[in-house]
Amino acid sequence: MSSSPDTIAREVRRRRTFAIISHPDAGKSTMTEALALHARMISEAGAVHGKSGRKATVSDWMEMEKARGISVSSTALQFNYTPTGLANEDPGDEVEPNVINLVDTPGHADFSEDTYRVLTAVDAAVMLIDAAKGLEPQTLKLFQVCRHRGIPVITVVNKWDRPGQTPLELIDEISERIGLTPTPLYVPVGIAGDFRGLYDRRSGSYVKFSRTAGGAKIAPEELLDAQQAAQIEGDAWTAAVEESELLSEMGQDHDEELFLAGATSPMIFTSAMLNFGVRQLLEALVELAPAPAPRDDVDGKPREVTDPFSAVVFKVQAGMDASHRDRLAYMRIVSGEFERGMVVTHAQTGRPFATKYAQAVFGRDRSTVDTAYPGDVVGLVNATALAPGDTLYDDPAVEFPPIGSFAPEHFATLRARSAGKYKQFRKAMDQLESEGVVQVLRNDTRGDASPVLAAVGPMQFEVVTARMLAEFTVETELEPLGYSLARRTDDASSPELDRQRGVEVFTRTDGARLALFSDKWRLQFIEKEHPDLTLEPLVAAAD
Ligand code: G4P
């Protein structure tokens, strides 16, 4: 039976859906595990990094995966969290917990369209940075996507237990390089490498941490007032208070409106490894990050969260199981209640889609999550017809804007090694393109036997060649092309562009005309010589 709008609204209010954006090695896996520990999904951390003296608890972790159908590498990790006074306090079960969805962004160093798409499914992001390294390339790229999509960002400075930069250096770096103003919620007491606790800027009190063996358990916290703190911590406390005053003078206090508008970012200092500051992060998410909100449809009309069911597919994953050729589509619920078994409509084809065979891939039990609400992520198996950006709904009809394709930076031609495999090659190309694995460009000169693949990250090419072989038994040859950027153009400008050296014009499968350039100097030269030509930058996301 469907829930009432009131029930749905309540479910929505207690949900937070976010992703962690970080450069590899900043501590995303360690933090994910620490969050699970604080949400009491696991009793001991250490599965991720057992080797450095912590007790390995892989079995604990795996048991949990088995029992609850989740994993650190899964697409979305869902857990309940009840804010507690202190991390070591039992939250009790009188209060209804918050439901936190942590949507995973691909962890590899390479950058792909997948990463961008995942960020269309979240309402907030946690930008995790290494205290010693500050902003790193992948953090920057991911942050640009958040900015473009208007996703509010909470900044977490991790590894504070190790020597690193000062808070003010990090704050300056973030303000200057990305134009986001950090508004620390806490100031660390003790310099990087000597992490003692956090000065809570809003209450003026001190949260003192104690280490646990190997950082495997929740670190006990003690709440002290300013006087006690000054006595215990002396100069370290004074320094923290002074820093906080300085920040206030510079106007760097949390402001809800500015945060939601993407101008400021609440900042927290943590040690994921020691489990310090993790409760503070969870609480910031619950307190400050927005709950799932209405989403505009293609006509700009909002679909309210309490409207009948609707969802957007943001990721399609195929070939995970070689024996099954399965295709899993992950949808983020936008409105209403999802009940396993309901028959919904696929907006792009108008066809019914039976979720009877669907599987919820997160949650307490892999196969028996029967209901889900806005903000939740559900995996649909055998979803052959679904592609990233597609809409599913229960009447009344709705269609959300496409996720959009992203500015490619890597280009290569692909052909089947054996001409006899051409038919298979075509079929495979269509399939992989429809899943959004790669963009496909064509022009008359090159013909169809060796289309040009365009990708945001070169790893997308590897996925194509590997899957061509594994799933379609087509051996392929990939040849990188000497182009490095693309601009959107039109029919009128194409002939002139085609005449230029270092430029080639293509049509993408969605009909868009793209001109590829060898490098930015070539582009600048042509723009200068031919100011009348249409050359529009491709944005990171097409909305
Ligand atoms: P990632 O998912 O973002 O790639 O990072 P991951 O959690 O794998 O962490 C990368 C490395 O940083 C690991 O060290 C991890 O232990 C360490 N790390 C993560 N958080 C913290 C922290 O708060 N403080 C300190 N000091 N280190 C942290 P490793 O050398 O690769 O592994 P291991 O030898 O620690 O097992």
- Sheet with strand 391-393: strands edge to edge: 351-354, 343-346, 391-393, 310-318, 327-335, 377-380
CB-ligand 1 contact for 17 (6 Å cutoff):
no
Element (H, E) at 138: helix 137-149
Exposure string of 506-515, with b = 16+ CB inside 10 Å and e = fewer, is bbbeeebbbb
Cα–Cα distance, 81 to 78 (Å, whole number): 10
CB 182 within 8 A of CB 152: no
Q: Whose CA is nearest to atom 22 of ligand 1?
A: 159
Q: Within a 13 Å sphere around the CA of 376, how many CA atoms are in the beta-carbon half?
A: 30
Given the structure tokens 């962890």, which residue do they identify?
A: 107
Determine if residue 12 is left, alpha or beta; phi over 0 gives left, psi from -120 to 50 gives alpha, anything else beta: alpha
- Decide: 421 in ligand 1 pocket, CB within 6 A: no
Q: What's the Cα-to-Cα distance from 72 to each of 99, 114, 128, 220, 333, rounded to whole Å? A: 17, 17, 16, 24, 21
Helix (H) or strand (E) segment spanning residue 125: strand 124-130
Expressed in angstroms and rounded, the spacing between residue 403 Cα and the centre of ligand 1 is: 33
Q: How far is the CA of 26 from the centre of ligand 1 (A)?
A: 7
pTM over 0.75: yes
State if residue 211 touches ligand 1 by the CB under 6 angstroms criterion. no
* Nearby residues of 259 by Cβ (< 8 Å), 6 or more positions away: 152, 183, 265, 266, 288
Q: Would the CA dihedral through 73, 79, 83, 88 be positive or negative?
A: negative
Ligand 1 center–CA 148 separation, angstroms: 29
Pocket probe for ligand 1: among 33, 104, 136, 273, the residue whose CB has the most ligand atoms within 8 Å is: 273
Question: Of all protein residues, whose CA lies closest to atom 16 belonging to ligand 1?
Answer: 49
pLDDT in tens, 236-280: 999 999 999 999 999 999 999 999 999 999 999 999 999 999 999
User: Do 377 and 18 form a contact (C-beta atoms < 8 A)?
Assistant: no
DSSP annotation of 516 reads E
Which residue is closest in CA terms to ligand 1's atom 17? 27
On whether the CB atoms of residues 199 and 241 are closer than 8 A, the answer is: yes
Q: What residue owns the CA closest to ligand 1's atom 6?
A: 27
Please name the residue whose Cα sits nearest to atom 31 of ligand 1.
25
188 pocket-lining for ligand 1 (C-beta < 6 Å): no
Q: Which amino acid is at 158?
A: N
Angle (deg, nearest 10), helices 167-178 and 137-149: 60
pLDDT by position in tens, the chain (length 543): 578 999 999 999 999 999 999 988 899 889 988 998 898 877 777 655 544 444 444 444 445 444 444 443 457 788 899 988 787 777 777 788 999 999 887 655 566 677 788 899 999 999 999 999 999 988 888 888 898 889 999 999 999 999 999 999 999 999 999 999 999 999 999 999 999 999 999 999 999 999 888 778 888 999 999 999 999 999 999 999 999 999 999 999 999 999 999 999 999 999 999 999 999 999 999 999 999 999 999 999 999 999 999 999 998 877 555 555 567 788 999 999 998 889 999 999 999 998 866 555 543 334 445 789 999 998 887 778 888 999 999 999 999 998 877 789 999 999 999 989 999 999 999 988 988 889 999 999 988 888 999 998 888 898 889 889 988 999 999 999 999 999 999 999 999 999 999 999 999 988 899 999 999 999 999 999 999 999 998 865 333
Using most ligand atoms within 8 A of CB, pick from 21, 23, 25 the residue to mutate for ligand 1. 25
CB of residue 22 inside a 6 A radius of ligand 1: yes
Give me ligand 1 centre to Cα 275, in Å. Answer: 12
Asked whether the bond before 163 is cis by omega within 30 degrees of 0, the reply is no
Nearest residue (CA) to ligand 1, atom 19: 27
pLDDT of residue 320: 54
Q: Is the CB of 26 under 6 A from ligand 1?
A: yes
Q: For the segment 36-57, what is each residue's pLDDT rounded down to a tens digit?
A: 889 887 777 765 554 444 444 4
